[in-house]
Copies of this chain bind each other. A is one copy, B any other.
Amino acid sequence: MLHSLPLHRFNESIVLPAADIERIQAMGEPPMRLARHAVLRREGEPPRFIYLLIEGWVASSVLLPGGDRQITKFHLPGDLLGTPSMCLERTADTLTALTPASVSRVSLASFGELFQRSPSFAAAMLLSIQRERVALMDRLAAVGRTPALARVSALLLDLAERLGALSGGTIDEFELPVTQEQIGDHLGLTAVHVNRVFRQLVDTGLIRRNRQRVTLLDRQRLRSVSARQEREPAKDVSWLVGGQAGA
């Protein structure tokens, strides 16, 4: 029983019936604990499982032939991990715990069964994956077209927003349990340069920082330097779920 699984990600545009919520919680195996740096799944393996992240942060990353790494997503509790690779013979992304974490493994078989059994779950999945796709498009635009300062600012705003959604409030101070090298791998920058950008953000009064705790001091200015588009989730998805009105 995963009574501790945050469910906000499953109810973003569609409110799932209680029966579905139960089935989601039932499809996962008993949670397992991961130490920091533990590899949950390595790329190249045949995909047989996906994972519900219950607690902690996990990075999903892709390796380039040259040995460089691209972190495709910093996952927070409530996220469903490793799903992109379900369409491949061999897994594309490596899942690594950034902090001690707790995850529940889900076999593709149980996922598939729920997807087939519950139309509302299938619909919620469809929309959720499209949201991830839009996020990827936005980050691609940032990495391809914006300077380092904008990328780091955008990341901080994005994390604050997601942590807020997770806790159900607004957050402007949070723990960033992530190495500057990992931030670089996420944004297409060097650890050294990430460090310089942080310095700049502090020096210009946009954020405060001690150790890994970050405080957003001037959201307004941060937003304007970040060149980030606000994306509002669809409110009315009745075209997809038939009977149901919007959330």
Contact = CB atoms under 8 A, between A and B. Distances in A.
Given A126-B129, A188-B145, A239-B109, A232 B88 contact: yes
A203 interface: no
Given A64-B146, A127-B86, A137 B72 contact: yes
Contacts of A125: 126
B70 A145 contact: yes
A19 to B, nearest CB: 17
A133 B136 contact: yes
Given A109-B239, A133-B133, A62 B126 contact: no
Interface of A is mostly: helix
A123 interface: yes
Contacts of A130: 83-87, 129
B227 A134 contact: no
B229 A137 contact: no
Interface residues of A, number: 65
Interface of A: 13, 47, 62, 64-66, 68-70, 72, 83-90, 92-93, 107-109, 111-112, 115-116, 119, 122-123, 125-134, 136-146, 187-188, 227-229, 231-235, 239-242
11 contacts: A64-B227, A65-B228, A70-B141, A86-B240, A87-B131, A87-B233, A89-B234, A90-B232, A92-B137, A143-B144, A144-B187
